[in-house]
Amino acid sequence: MLIGIDLGTTNSLAACYRDGEPVLIPNRLGGYLTPSVVSIDEEGNLFVGQVAKEKMITNPDQSASVFKRSMGSGKEFLLGNKKYSATDLSALILRSLKEDAEEFLGEKVTEAIISVPAYFNDVQRKATKQAGELAGLKVERIINDPTAAAIAYGIARDEEEKRFLVFDLGGGTFDVSILELDGDIMEVRAIAGDNYLGGEDFTGVIYNMFIKHHSLEEASLTKPQKKHIWKQAELCKIAFAEAAGGVSRMTASLNGDTLEMEISSADYERACEELLEKLKKPIERSLKDAKLRVADLNEIILVGGGTRLPVVRTFVTRLFRRFPDVSVNPDEAVALGAALQCAMKERNEDIKEIVLTDVCPFTLGTSVVRTVGNNEKEGGHFLPIIERNTVIPVSRRETLYTVNDKQREITVDILQGESRLAKNNLHLGEINVRVPEAPAGQESINVTYTYDINSLLEVIVKVNSTGYTKKMIIKSEESQLSDEEAELRMKELDYLKVHPRDQEINQLILARGERIYEESTGIVREELANVLAQFEYILDRQDPEAIAKAQADVTEILDSLEF
């Protein structure tokens, strides 16, 4: 049996496709949301979910939460006398969901589709898949949270074409995805996000307001007291959704005293200004990458428990100058979308098949040496080869040159990230090739990156003077393809690996342009030289959309000069 799982920072839940519709799976306590909390008692017994959340208030030293933010990192959590990684703790949550699903369905659950923040990098996705395996699940696919939510939203829509932005604010992460639904095709246009921004941060604002309001010395508070105040701050935050007169009240008991605080929605909004400003950046980045304006969007869809906050909904309404769509339950949308993806994978006849096209979430590139200052050579600079939010599958090629006289070797390190400094990006692997000794700049290599929708990255390095070629295929941990299948898939994408300059249609345009240039004189020749130079520049950028437009523009100019 295959189920869909929303592995969340604050809460997790599972769903399946049953009797023609996606169905939420209740946990052992009868609810749908299982708190992503793990606790241990003095006898070494582990507790997961609601029980663990309650124990965390009185026994915070033996409990762990919000560990999703540490997925793929080296951070460890000490419970009892044993250390756990975020992957270990997530596996315990997943195992609990698996057991609940088996009880509900009355059969063994062996496979799952698990959702993750769209902005999770390769290491974080691998850690999520590993957690699934530790829980006894074969992870059939890792799906992005906003994409899953978009499926839940878009699957029942009859519109032929719709462009929407998914605003996904969970407990610990924030994602923005811009998607376009055209019939049975759902295309991801751009994604952006912040893996360290979520509903927990909005709780933290109330927590800090309470500490300041009562002039408490936080350093003097015990861990149970801090957890108690945090829990009351969370309840105060939740109460804003139904607060009479826009005022929410918070009460906490400390050392036998009852402390109270009233917060107006206006005061809370002012206190949240810094967080709200942080929400803007991924939105602006995604719109810029998708080359869209706010007016180009048909709908704004809210996903994630954090979007229940009135301060967040007001922010979204002001920013987009329209009311967002709240037709899908923000806590349930991702799990329901994952369940629908399960049905698609099983090719269930009851469901409309949606073809998903995706983008590369992070920039892929390598490190290079640049000339700085007084012609000094400085290494460690990042050279993007495939830019983030490029529609996949895609292939890009760059030519790199030796930087030293008699250089014998070139190392191509394969990097993922957005920093201009190579050391700040994620290292995926490297390829070393030998080159003939020659003066600096005379030897060169072609570096070709090809990225596939199955999370495969192929890197080919070719020494141009000798023809020697070396290749590496990097598989995401979520990929179910064998090495042979990955090799075959990359073979199928050979058509993408031809540089635009080498494509016949572009060679024809350039050859025709050169001929007309030689036949012309004066200002016509000068203008044509600029046109051809610009066309070559666009070819080198390797952007298919820009190239297609340039082909039409240059052809029109050449036609006007000939006839």
- pLDDT per position in the chain (563 positions), as tens? 899 999 999 999 999 998 888 999 999 999 999 999 999 988 888 899 999 999 988 888 899 999 998 998 889 999 988 899 999 999 999 999 999 999 999 999 999 999 998 878 878 888 998 899 999 999 888 888 888 888 887 665 555 678 889 999 988 889 998 988 877 777 888 888 888 899 999 999 999 999 999 999 989 999 889 999 999 999 999 998 777 668 899 999 988 889 999 999 999 999 999 999 999 999 999 999 889 999 999 889 999 889 999 999 999 999 999 999 888 788 899 999 999 888 888 776 666 666 677 788 889 999 999 887 677 888 899 999 998 888 888 889 999 999 999 999 999 999 988 888 898 888 888 999 999 999 999 999 999 998 886 667 889 999 999 999 999 888 654 444 456 655 665 565 565 556 787 888 888 998 888 888 877 878 888 888 888 988 888 888 888 888 889 999 999 898 888 76
Beta bridge partners of 459: 449, 472
Are residue 332 and residue 413 in the same domain, yes or no? Answer: no
pLDDT of residue 256: 85
Domain boundary among 466, 494, 522: 494
In a domain, 265, yes or no: no
Are residue 351 and residue 404 in the same domain, yes or no? Answer: no
What is the length of the chain? 563
Domain boundary among 464, 494, 524: 494
Domain boundary among 334, 357, 380: 357
Please say whether the beta carbons of 400 and 444 come within 8 A: yes
Are residue 549 and residue 526 in the same domain, yes or no? Answer: yes
95/80 Cα distance (integer angstroms): 20
Are residue 321 and residue 392 in the same domain, yes or no? Answer: no
Please say whether the beta carbons of 273 and 311 come within 8 A: no
The 8-class DSSP code of residue 498 comes to S
pLDDT of residue 503: 83
SS3 for 350? coil
| CATH classification at residue 434 | 2.60.34.10
In a domain, 34, yes or no: yes
402/412 Cα distance (integer angstroms): 12
| CATH classification at residue 336 | 3.30.420.40
341/359 Cα distance (integer angstroms): 18
Are residue 160 and residue 296 in the same domain, yes or no? Answer: yes
Q: How many CB atoms lie within 10 A of CB 519?
A: 12
In a domain, 489, yes or no: yes
In a domain, 36, yes or no: yes
Are residue 434 and residue 522 in the same domain, yes or no? Answer: no
Are residue 488 and residue 520 in the same domain, yes or no? Answer: no
Are residue 82 and residue 20 in the same domain, yes or no? Answer: yes
Are residue 343 and residue 437 in the same domain, yes or no? Answer: no
Number of domains into which the chain is organized: 3
C-alpha of 194 from chain center: 9
User: Phi and psi dihedrals of 364, rounded to 5?
Assistant: -115, 135
Domain containing residue 420: 364-494
Name the token pair of 39.
């606790």
In a domain, 334, yes or no: yes
Burial class of residue 475 (count of CB atoms within 10 Å of its CB; 0-12, 13-18, 19+): buried
In a domain, 22, yes or no: yes
pLDDT of residue 520: 80
Tell me the whole-structure pTM to 2 decimals.
Answer: 0.73
233/211 Cα distance (integer angstroms): 10
pLDDT of residue 195: 84
397/384 Cα distance (integer angstroms): 11
Name the token pair of 228.
């108690």
Are residue 69 and residue 149 in the same domain, yes or no? Answer: yes
Q: Among 351, 352, 347, which residue's Cα sits nearest to residue 2?
A: 347
Q: How many CB atoms lie within 10 A of CB 249?
A: 13
pLDDT of residue 155: 60
DSSP string, 351-377: S---EEE-B-SS-EEEEEEEEETTTEE
In a domain, 513, yes or no: yes
In a domain, 210, yes or no: no
Are residue 178 and residue 82 in the same domain, yes or no? Answer: yes
Sign of dihedral through CA atoms 477, 481, 487, 489? negative
263/109 Cα distance (integer angstroms): 46
Are residue 342 and residue 387 in the same domain, yes or no? Answer: no
